[in-house]
Amino acid sequence: MLPQRGQAVGLTQCTGMGAWLWMGTQQILLQLVGTDTHSRETDYKPARKSAETPPASETWQGFDKPERRGAVLRAAPGLCVCEGVTRAERVPVEMDDLESEFNLKVVLLSFKQCLNEKEEVLLDHYLASWRGLVRFLNSLGTIFSFISKDVVAKLQIMEQLCGGPQQEHYSTLQAMVAYEVGSQLVDLERRSRHPDSGCRTVLRLHRALHWLQLFLEGVRTSPEDARTAALCTDSYNASLAAYHPWIIRRAVTVAFCALPTRKVFLETMNVGSPEQAVEMLGEALPFIKRVYDISQRLYAEHALLDLP
């Protein structure tokens, strides 16, 4: 039986028609690797198959069996919820230091340290905050690995820039924008000239942060019986969905059905009871929102919000 709208289900619980729904969703996610959905008008184009890629029929054979389903999903490449493309081929995804348990206190501390006295966004603390959020995404289960893997790839791009020959220009978000715009390292018309610019990379993280901010705020203020899948979908529709074509919107919405109940979700924060987690979210979210608002204003001032 198919889950009701917003009902939390586990992948191992999907059988029959439910398994076929998950199979179709994951087939979409797999085929989207190598595409770019950086604008609302982008058309869906299947990725070219490599010689090592098995036929779809072979990949999904036995998907109705829990043990096979888990193996397929663990092997699935990353899909960027920020823009619909992974660069795992160019930037190796290192997850070793991101497998520890998520703790909301750590993320709270990182976001508290994100702004200096001039209210500039310190990139080292911003990236540290995102590493904490990656642990959060990992704690939600295998199905969300298609998000976290691409976030890790983007963090690695930024870490390379922050530690590279021009690192003095990457201490703050404001310094980075001024440097890259002034040095014409940002192309407002074509993505291909500077695909891994700091401005473009942070913009994708920035959009994803808005989604997580709205989602966590929805969880914090919702009643005990609220469905996390519905909250996550509503937050996605109010943020990231505008930058994705229909095919990704549908696939991601189905993936949200794997979210646990609100109680279990709050327990993944690792700060005590659900009530304690709600209290700490109330303390953390204003800092996250402040960082987001300052970044949003900076990008708007430089006309970078629609950077391809």
Distances (CA, A) of 151 to 68, 129, 134, 257: 26, 12, 7, 21
Q: Which of 158, 105, 139, 151 is nearest to 287 (CA)?
A: 105
* Residues in CB range of 261: below 8 A, 6 or more apart: 8, 228
Place of tokens 């520890």: 100
**Which are the contacts of 133, defined by CB distance < 8 A and separation ≥ 6?**
107, 151, 209, 212
Backbone torsion region of residue 78, taken as left when φ is above 0, otherwise alpha when ψ lies between -120 and 50, otherwise beta? beta
**What pLDDT, on a 0 to 100 scale, did the predictor assign at position 140?**
81
**pLDDT, position 188:** 81
- Residue, of 213 and 27, whose pLDDT is higher: 213
Burial of 297 (0-12, 13-18, 19+ CB in 10 A): exposed
The predicted structure's pLDDT at residue 6: 41
pLDDT band at residue 98 using 50, 70 and 90 as cut-offs: low
Backbone Cα Rg of the chain:
19
Name the DSSP class of 271.
Answer: S
Confidence of residue 81 (pLDDT cuts 50, 70, 90): very low
Residue range 268-274: mean pLDDT, rounded: 90
pLDDT band at 79 (very low <50, low <70, confident <90, very high): very low
Q: For residue 187, what pLDDT band results from cuts at 50, 70 and 90?
A: confident
Q: Supply the pLDDT for residue 145.
A: 75
Confidence band, pLDDT 50/70/90 cuts, at residue 263: very high
Among the ranges given (61-70, 149-158, 248-257), the one the predictor scored with the smallest mean pLDDT? 61-70
Task: Please give the average per-residue pLDDT across 34-56, as a whole number.
Answer: 36
Cβ-contact 138, 145 below 8 angstroms? yes
In this structure, what token pair is assigned to residue 196? 């891994």
Average pLDDT over residues 71-86: 39
Could you tell me which residue, 76 or 279, shows the higher pLDDT?
279
- Report residue 90's pLDDT band, with 50, 70 and 90 as the boundaries: very low
State the residue for tokens 């990231």: 240
Q: For residues 249 and 25, is the Cβ–Cβ distance under 8 A?
A: no
Nearest C-alpha neighbor of 127 from the set 218, 220, 198: 198
Torsion, CA 280, CA 296, CA 149, CA 146, rounded to 10? 90
Calculate mean pLDDT across residues 232-252: 92
In terms of Cβ atoms closer than 10 Å to its own Cβ (0-12, 13-18, 19+), residue 59 is middle
Share of the chain above pLDDT 70, in %: 65
Q: What angle do CA 203, 207, 212 make, to 5 degrees?
A: 140
pLDDT of residue 117: 95
Give the chain's end-to-end CA distance (angstroms, integer).
Answer: 41
Mind listing the domains of the chain with CATH numbers? 11-301 (1.10.3520.10)
Which has more confidence, 176 or 57? 176
**Predicted confidence (pLDDT) at residue 287 exceeds the cutoff of 70:** yes
**What is the mean pLDDT of the segment spanning 183-208?**
86
pLDDT tens track for 1-31:
444 444 433 333 333 334 444 445 554 444 3
User: How far apart are the C-alpha atoms of 90 and 69, rounded to whole Å?
Assistant: 27
The residue with greater pLDDT, 192 or 66, is 192
Q: What pLDDT was estimated at residue 177?
A: 98
Report pLDDT digits (tens) over 100-121. 678 888 888 899 999 999 999 9
Residue 229's SS3 state is helix
* 72 closest CA partner among 17, 25, 139: 25
Q: Which residues contact 155 (CB under 8 A, 6 or more apart)?
A: 127, 130, 131, 134, 205
CA distance linking residue 301 with residue 203, whole number of Å: 14
